[in-house]
């Protein structure tokens, strides 16, 4: 029991992202309403973003902005372990903005579906398509 608890605590960050990701996935699978599916997709995306950002963390390191990185002192040697990994931050920085833009596309598709069928419930729309 103690070992399992240690394992959970050591990887607790990944566990929380997996739980968040599964909440998003469940919302996408089980909900009939398209807006709820889109919200589930957003939660899923947030879990991925948090996962990436957490891989950047280093113990006893600061944000990746070089201290005294200007002027005379700029040529001092830089130890990579003093600063957290900038790469996941760069990837997620663009991913967040692109995520917002693609969320806009998803919502506009939902609006078009609502304009055509008058509902956002998937089963009702499926029935309408079958009747045609």
Binding residues with another protein: total (CB under 8 A): 57
Token readout for 93 is 């920085």
15 is a site residue for another protein (CB under 8 A):
yes
125 is a site residue for another protein (CB under 8 A):
no
Tell me which of 59, 72, 130, 131 binds another protein, using CB under 8 A. 59
Largest CA distance in the chain: 76
Provide the terminal-to-terminal Cα distance of the chain, rounded to the nearest Å. 58
Cβ–Cβ contacts within 10 Å for residue 34, how many? 20
Nearer to another protein, 123 or 132 (CB): 123
Tell me which of 1, 2, 5, 26 binds another protein, using CB under 8 A. 26
| Rounded least distance, CB 2 to another protein, Å | 16
112 is a site residue for another protein (CB under 8 A):
yes
Instruction: Report the chain's C-alpha Rg in angstroms.
Output: 22
Coil/strand/helix, residue 120: coil
């Amino acid at each position: 029991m103690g070992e399992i608890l240690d394992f959970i605590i050591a990887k607790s960050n990944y566990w929380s992202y997996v739980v968040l990701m599964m909440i998003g996935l469940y919302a996408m699978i089980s909900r009939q309403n398209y807006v709820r599916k889109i919200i589930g997709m957003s939660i899923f995306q947030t879990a991925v973003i948090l996962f990436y950002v957490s891989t950047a963390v280093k113990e006893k390191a600061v944000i990746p902005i070089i201290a005294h990185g200007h002027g005379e002192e700029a040529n001092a040697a830089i130890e990579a372990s003093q600063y957290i990994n900038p790469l996941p931050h760069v990837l997620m920085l663009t991913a967040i903005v692109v995520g917002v833009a693609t969320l806009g596309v998803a919502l506009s598709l939902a609006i078009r579906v609502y304009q055509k069928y008058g509902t956002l419930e998937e089963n009702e729309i499926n029935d309408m398509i079958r009747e045609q």
